[in-house]
Amino acid sequence: MRIAVFADVHGNLEALTAVLQDMATRAPERVLFLGDAVGYGPDPNACVEKIFEVADTVVAGNHDHGALELTSTAHFNPFAQGAILWTQNVLTGENRERLLSMPMTAREGELFLVHATPERPEAWAYLLYEEEARRQLKFFEEKACLYGHTHRSLGFVGDGNNVRLTTERLLTFQDQFRYIVNVGSVGQPRDSDPDAAYCLYDTREKVLSFHRVPYNYRITQEKMRAAGLPAFLIQRLQVGV
């Protein structure tokens, strides 16, 4: 079975559309979304609707909770705070209900799904380094944890004592290892590549692959300008940082 996994769309409809088109050519049997449907981008409603149309399983992100005022946005930078206030104002009641229905974690066979970290999903901590990844292995039982939040596609390979970071684009799951994989961001990548990111996992082959899809971010930027969203958020889409 092929499973497609994506995260951190952040109201970027052009990036989401490009990813879903690319995904469709690979005909996944299951589609999983790891949170942050909204925040930053100009199309929160259309993105929430599209995500709920295509995803079989979803988990909540900090911007989804921020838009619902379920979590404090004190840890957001000023640009993110500006964008979340804008999002709160435009989000429809129906889409607020959809965001409200998202659980904090989910399981899909041998995969544990969370937006930030398995240890305390609601703390919204950033998992970027090997030492932290080694600790996080204790907080889920599945073969692999798939997550988002940092907007950087990468993987950690661990045997319990040692963990190494990998940026290989193809990971074949080995019996003796467990994995923590960041699937990257659809709508606001921050790993110096502006192309939208997602992952595919083949449960039979036990192969996880990282994918990047170019999209026309100039259209998104134009919409953001028209909406009066912060210039820094507009600028970062074209450089992927």
Binding site for Fe ion (CB under 5 A): 8, 36
Cβ distance to Fe ion smaller for residue 120 or 164: 120
Per DSSP, the residues of 180-200 read EEE---SSS--SS--SEEEEE
Cβ distance to Fe ion smaller for residue 50 or 143: 50
Minimum gap (Å) between residue 61 Cβ and Fe ion = 6
Minimum gap (Å) between residue 36 Cβ and Fe ion = 4
Minimum gap (Å) between residue 185 Cβ and Fe ion = 6
Residue whose CB is nearest to Fe ion in the complex, by number: 36
Give the list of residues 6+ apart from residue 21 with CB closer than 8 angstroms, or none. 213
**Beta-strand (E) ranges in 28-172?**
30-33, 57-58, 105-108, 111-114, 144-147, 154-158, 163-166, 170-172
Cβ distance to Fe ion smaller for residue 8 or 191: 8
Backbone angles phi, psi at 227, to 5 degrees: -85, -10
Minimum gap (Å) between residue 10 Cβ and Fe ion = 6
Minimum gap (Å) between residue 149 Cβ and Fe ion = 6
Cβ distance to Fe ion smaller for residue 20 or 116: 116
Cβ distance to Fe ion smaller for residue 157 or 233: 233
CA distance 98 to 180: 27
Task: Report the candidate in 30, 34, 2 with the shortest Cα–Cα distance to residue 186.
Answer: 34
Sign of the alpha-carbon dihedral angle for 168, 174, 179, 184: positive
Q: Which two tokens stand for residue 157?
A: 């390979």
